[in-house]
Amino acid sequence: MSRPERNEKKAPREEGSDLIDKLVSINRVAKVVKGGRRFGFAALVVVGDGKGRVGYGSGKAKEVSDAMRKATEDAKKSMRRIPLREGRTVHHDLYGRFGAGKVIIRTAPVGTGIIAGGPMRAVFEALGVQDVVAKSVGTSNPHNMLKATFDALEGMKSPRAVAAKRGKSVGEIVDRREGKASDSVKNEKSDKE
């Protein structure tokens, strides 16, 4: 009888939130007091909807579950929209930095998968990216790697945003070669006339 009760409790929570949460790291810290040590936990969590929104958060508590809950709430508050190309990869190569952590994120063709390690993989899975190649250089501290990854992702511009900023159409921004070819064809036609 206890099993159906558990399933009934879990089902509404999963359907209502439809967010993907990934635990990046748990750190156990100790406070030395007169009677010995008191242990606490710090959690780092990434939350995303799998459709272009992602955020990260950290939480501290005496118990692991409380720390994870706090971190998840913090991550939900800091969610950001990241434009994706065809809903599967980034628009262009990105470089991010935070402290000693540096990341390089590159676009990838269909079927490549997520080639990234540690905290960056969690970010891409929560974001909904399917094809990407990423590398971290420098520190392996999960906090700095996450912040460097978000620094890179926030620097991404979609062709639509660039076109709006320049006051041009998306076609003029994306395919300049086709535009030049059509101009040369027009010039040849006018010469023949």
Residue 192 lies in a domain: no
Total number of domains constituting the chain:
1
* Digit-coded pLDDT (tens) for 60-115: 999 999 999 999 999 999 899 988 888 888 888 999 999 998 999 999 888 888 99
Residue 36 lies in a domain: yes
How would you label 132-142 residue by residue, b for 16+ Cβ within 10 Å and e otherwise?
bbbebeeeebb
Residue 157 lies in a domain: yes
- In angstroms, the CA 72 to CA 171 distance is 40
Residue 33 lies in a domain: yes
> Residue 103 belongs to what domain range?
2-165
Residue 103 lies in a domain: yes
Q: Give the domain CATH number at 116.
A: 3.30.230.10
Residue 176 lies in a domain: no
Reference 156, options 192, 126, 117, 127; nearest CA is: 127
Reference 124, options 98, 100, 103; nearest CA is: 103
Residue 93 lies in a domain: yes
- In angstroms, the CA 97 to CA 69 distance is 28
**Residue 10 — very low, low, confident or very high, per pLDDT cuts 50/70/90?**
very low
Residue 172 lies in a domain: no
* Digit-coded pLDDT (tens) for 33-47: 998 999 999 999 999
